[in-house]
Amino acid sequence: MSSSGQLKRLFQLLVSNLLTVVAVPLAAAALLKAAELGPDELLGRVRALRPMHMFLATFVPAAASIVYLKLRPRTVYMLDYACFRPPPNCRVPFAAFQEHARVWPGFDERSVRFMTRLLERSGLGEETCLPSAQHYIPPSRDLESSRAEAELIIFSAIDDLLAKTGVSPQEIDILVVNCSLFAPTPSFADMVVNRYGLRPDVRNVHLAGMGCSAGLISVGLARNLLQVAPKGSKALVVSTETITPNYYMGKERAMLLPNCLFRMGGAAVLLSTSGANARFRLARVVRTLTGGKDGAYRCVYQEEDDRGNVGINLSKDLMSVAGDALKANITAMGPLVLPASEQLLFAASFIARRVVNRGVKPYIPDFRTAFEHFCIHAGGRAVIDELQRSLTLSDEQVEASRMTLHRFGNTSSSSLWYELAYVEAKGRMRRGDRVWMIGFGSGFKCNSAAWECIRPPPANGGAGGPWATCAHRYPVEIPDVLKH
């Protein structure tokens, strides 16, 4: 470690233990003073105090403590989570993707070559999956096929979660389902209520059109609903995206990229205000919306091309917009999670730039001091690259995101849970470890959630999860053409 690194480490230790550094000498001085006065004189001074002073000294702190305990938000815990594992027959190797694209008359050779180049540079592997309807020529995009995909993913994830937790469907008080691009009638929430026979008084919500960060929005909504529900209530959060009706069949380059990135996936999470048998504690949820700016609002936009084909248009300004949203989000998140030493360094840098010299390089807070694990939305290679650079993360710290993109592709709002499952499948989660989830979505949004591990998985943590059959093969080496 360099001398500057050693100085920074010493500064962090000093600031982090400032209370101890100040309290210990004060306590020692008080003890010395008490020993000097003697017990008789101390007792005499206490008796000399007025009754009103004694009352205030005991009542005010007690009353303040009671008010604080009554008004503070309830702690929300994650009991467990489960991710959908696509069946092998849904696998889409690169060669199959290219062959189907060439056979479909809606794509010309120029579009096929463009998608081939995108796929080769995407960071996806050969095992990502598309729903069965997308394996037909031409692909099926009807309502029945779309609903079949949604039911397969959602019911499989919920079945796994209920089996892991031993929770009965009748114990679920709140249900939040998110799927951005497919909102049938009845809603997905009604579909789950019907399948599992949930209670008639269950609070249920279906969020649509919220983009890839809707999973964290759903967690935030469930947390808020749990605050007003009876203590110990349980909230089921289900996150997915339906690929079947949203495969773009035109020739606009800006709308072809989602075809190469998005793959089938979903996750179910069980939250509660009771910590019994909980796996994680929810520490923070921070949401940032930049949709007030036209450029941000339209950078991920569902529309028709000039031939009437519906798709998602990704603006060339997407990374710039995402960077601005990230800056706003970490500005709000930083003071809530960073240790005092990092906040002091940031404040000193800010003051120096404003007062002394604008040429002073701004200090980028080191979020590695606040978190042990990072789950960055696997939206694409460029997204992961940019966040790794911005947050100065190591290759190991973004490994979960890169490997999730390689194995499962961009599964939209559920990708963060596949990444958390990767960390646990590799045996890296420890009690007390902190996890930062960062999601991006249309609108444009950047949302964060901070978790603290209460109970790590058993030694075979990957068993039964999405990485059960492949964790031993990861991490894989991604060729330079994909990383750069």
Which CATH number is 307's domain given? Answer: 3.40.47.10
Asked if residue 191 is part of any domain, the answer here is: yes
CA atoms within 13 A on the CB side of 388: 17
Q: What's the order of all strands across the beta sheet hosting 234-240?
A: 203-207, 174-178, 234-240, 266-272, 76-83, 280-289, 445-453, 434-441, 373-376
Asked if residue 36 is part of any domain, the answer here is: no
**Both tokens assigned to 261:** 């990135």
pLDDT along the chain (484 residues), means of 10: 58 56 65 68 66 68 68 90 96 93 86 92 94 89 95 98 96 97 95 97 96 96 97 97 92 92 97 96 96 93 92 92 92 89 78 70 82 95 92 95 97 97 95 97 95 88 78 88 46
**Both tokens assigned to 460:** 């075979």
Please count the structural domains in the chain: 1
Between CA 164 and CA 169, with CA 166 as vertex, the angle to 5 degrees is 110
> Of 119, 215, 86, 127, nearest to 403 (Cα)?
127
Asked if residue 183 is part of any domain, the answer here is: yes
Residue 393, pLDDT score: 94
Residue 16, pLDDT score: 56
Asked if residue 243 is part of any domain, the answer here is: yes
Q: Which residues span the domain enclosing 334?
A: 76-483
Asked if residue 57 is part of any domain, the answer here is: no
Asked if residue 332 is part of any domain, the answer here is: yes
DSSP 424-445: HHTT---TT-EEEEEEEETTTE
What is the rounded distance in angstroms from the CA atom of residue 381 to the CA atom of residue 409? 10
